[in-house]
Amino acid sequence: MGRDKDWSIVGNLKYDMPASIVVFLVAVPLCLGIALASGAPLFSGIIAGIIGGIVVGALSGSQLGVSGPAAGLAVIVLTAIQELGAFEIFLMAVVLGGVFQLLLGIARAGIIGYYFPNSVIKGMLSGIGIIIFLKQIPHALGYDKDYEGSLSFATADGHNTFSQLYYMFEAVSPAAITITVLSLAILILWEQPFMKRIKIFQIVQGPLIVVSLGIFLNLLFQSLPDFGLRADQMVAIPVPETLGGFFSQFTFPDFSQIANPAVWITGMTLAVVASLETLLCLEATDKLDPFKRVSPANRELKAQGIGNIISGLIGGLPITQVIVRSSTNIQSGGRTKMAAIFHGFILLGCAMAIPAILNLIPLASLAAILFLVGYKLAKPALFKQMYALGHRHFVPFMVTILGIVLTDLLMGIGIGLVVAIFYILYDNYKKPFLFETGKHLQDGTIRLELAEDVTFINKASIQHTLSQIPDGSKVIIDASKTINIHHDVVEIIEEFKTNAEFRDIELELIEVSSVKIENQVKEVEHALQNNVLKLKPRKLVNGSVDS
């Protein structure tokens, strides 16, 4: 299947270091924008980004996931700060939320993420890709009323994602457009195969050139009358005058509020929403991973819990794994978790040493980078692939996309999941038993072979089928292969048995076996644990298992 993969730190530095720089460049405005939308100090977003990179990155089992403040929590955070009355009280809720997340990981609640169908996960990726693309168009033209990193349909200026595309023409900036066009040209050039074959361009990422060009053009345009960028069109990290001023930006929780019921409720709310968003992102990131590694979900919850405890203790926003930064990491060539960790250290170092230089980065440069991120998440080829799978997959996929674009991330996923579950239930309703005309209708005998698992969902379809059987027929109901049959269905069969006597129907029942079937997953785990020493050692050769 390919060459052996070296997942060592040193062996992947040439991939992880360039990727970490790109993730850092994308993370800075997102951390600041989400903090602004949350009604929290701007520096709290930077703290969350640093902890998400260094602490969560180190503890997580996800090789490509990147954590930090999430747009999906912005409304919850804003409301909580207002209701609790102070940011310090809210930080106490963040700490408690981290404790709850840690407990969820210990309780192995990470399995929840595996119950989301692929059609919904892929719809989530495409929906986020589309909304990233749409949200960056105003920034690309110089209209920066909505915060960077916003994923909600409603925007901060009272409009929505689509109406902003009209109102942005009221504030078109020639400087922003110039930077966007040149940046996109460079990024597209960097994607060409001939550029990727040149060694220097494999090391120096296109986004780094784009940001450097953006800073240069920003400085150049400042000398031109009526052409320079405004302050709100650039990154805006708080700039302390001294190193002591940097540390003074850290805030600590109000521990006196630990007995406040509202703090506990907020903490539990943050834990549930952040855990769900993390698990969805974890699943999506694994789908995007070119090496198809599977990340341990329970370990991720534990890492997020510890990260949120530390973030809350030093004044940071709540943390989740986030798909925009994770997908940027993957698209930039990241191979291991060191890319996420390095991005956290770069964020820390730059916030301490060169915040003034970071504040020269135009949002138009970052918009160009995110245009490509959004496009790669929502490639037309993915839509063709999902359409080819049929409406059972395509409809939930499209509903998830529309839900995310027209509401927000979690609401859109919820709507898509409801539609996917409807299809599952409908399929289950239609297949309560096996019936083939040539095989199960012979010599006037009707034979119904019940499915392995017959639930109450099959109740209506089985009752309808039995009611259609003509009087005077011979019927065999075969439940010999059934592992689980719901009591409601048993009652229907018993009622049919009684009714058959009055309809001259000859009925034969082949009962379900009395063998008790335990949890098969547990059975396999138990067998492997007890027999692991008897298994022959196997060696991975050229990507395949060799005995």
Return the CATH architecture of domain 433-510: 2-Layer Sandwich (3.30)
Query: Is residue 282 within 8 Å of residue 293, measured between CB atoms?
Result: no
Q: Which residues contact 135 (CB under 8 A, 6 or more apart)?
A: 146, 150, 151, 161
Q: Looking at this protein, which amino acid is placed at residue 512?
A: V
Which letter, b or e, does each residue of 126-150 get, where b requires 16 or more Cβ atoms within 10 Å of its Cβ? bbbbbbbbbbbbbbbbbbbbbbbbb
**What is the pLDDT, as a whole number, of residue 545?**
41
List pLDDT tens digits, range 435-469: 666 665 667 788 888 888 888 888 888 888 888 89
Given a cut of 90, is residue 511 above it in pLDDT?
no
pLDDT at 66 over 50: yes
The CA distances from residue 498 to 68, 129, 149, 466, 512, in Å, are 64, 59, 65, 12, 19
Q: What is the pLDDT of residue 529?
A: 73
Q: Which two tokens stand for residue 298?
A: 């329970």
Question: What pLDDT was estimated at residue 518?
Answer: 63
Q: Considering the chain, what is the average pLDDT of its residues?
A: 89
The pLDDT > 90 percentage for the chain reads: 63
State the pairing for strand pair 506-510/474-478: parallel
pLDDT per position as a tens digit, 275-295: 999 999 999 999 999 999 999
pLDDT of residue 519: 65
How far is CA 415 from its chain centroid? 15
Q: Does the pLDDT value for residue 394 go beyond 90?
A: yes
For residue 108, what pLDDT is reported?
Answer: 93
Q: How far is CA 540 from CA 1, 4, 286, 391, in A?
A: 11, 8, 21, 39
Label the pairing between strands 453-454 and 484-485: parallel
- Confidence band, pLDDT 50/70/90 cuts, at residue 100: very high
- Cα 273 to Cα 47, 101, 119, 187, 316: the distances in Å are 20, 10, 21, 35, 17
Are 1 and 543 within 8 A, CB to CB?
A: yes
Most confident of the ranges 45-54, 140-149, 188-197 = 45-54
d(CA 266, CA 241): 35
Tokens, residue 439: 């095989």
Q: Largest alpha-carbon pair distance within the chain?
A: 99
Domain ranges in the chain are: 12-114+144-380, 433-510
Comparing CA positions, the residue from 69, 65, 224, 234 lying closest to residue 144 is: 234
**For residue 28, which of 466, 361, 387, 442 has the smallest C-alpha distance?**
361
Over 362-397, what HEC string results? Answer: EHHHHHHHHHHHHHHHCCHHHHHHHHHCCHHHHHHH
| pLDDT value at 546 more than 50 | no
Mean pLDDT within 307-332: 96
- 400-443: per-residue pLDDT in tens? 999 999 998 889 999 999 999 998 888 777 777 766 666 656 67
- Length of the chain equals 547
Residue 516 has pLDDT above 60, yes or no: no
- Return the pLDDT at 440: 58
CA 368, 372, 374, 378 torsion-angle sign: positive
pLDDT on residue 359: 94
The confidence score (pLDDT) of residue 517 equals 59
Residue 540 confidence (pLDDT): 45
Ramachandran assignment for 314, one of left (phi > 0), alpha (psi -120 to 50 degrees), beta (any other): alpha
Question: Helix 380-388 to helix 118-141 angle, to the nearest 10 degrees?
Answer: 160
Q: What is the pLDDT of residue 145?
A: 87
Confidence of residue 97 (pLDDT cuts 50, 70, 90): very high
Lowest mean pLDDT among 127-136, 368-377, 523-532: 523-532
Query: In terms of pLDDT, which residue wins out, 530 or 36?
Result: 36
Q: What type of residue is 544?
A: S
Query: Global pTM?
Result: 0.84
**pLDDT value of position 204:** 81
**For residue 527, is pLDDT > 80?**
no
How far apart (Å, rounded) are the C-alpha atoms in residues 260 and 68? 27
Q: Picking from 34-43, 234-243, 311-320, 386-395, which range would have the lowest pLDDT averaged per residue?
A: 234-243
Residues 6+ apart with CB under 8 A from 445: 474, 475, 476
Cα atoms in the Cβ-side hemisphere of radius 13 Å centred on 409: 26
Minimum mean pLDDT range among 222-231, 402-411, 487-496, 516-525 = 516-525
Q: Which residues, including other chains, have CB under 8 Å from residue 251's CB and lie 6 or more apart?
A: 41, 44, 87, 88, 91, 314, 315
What does the pLDDT read at residue 542? 42
Burial category of 364 from C-beta neighbours within 10 Å (exposed 0-12, middle 13-18, buried 19 and up): buried
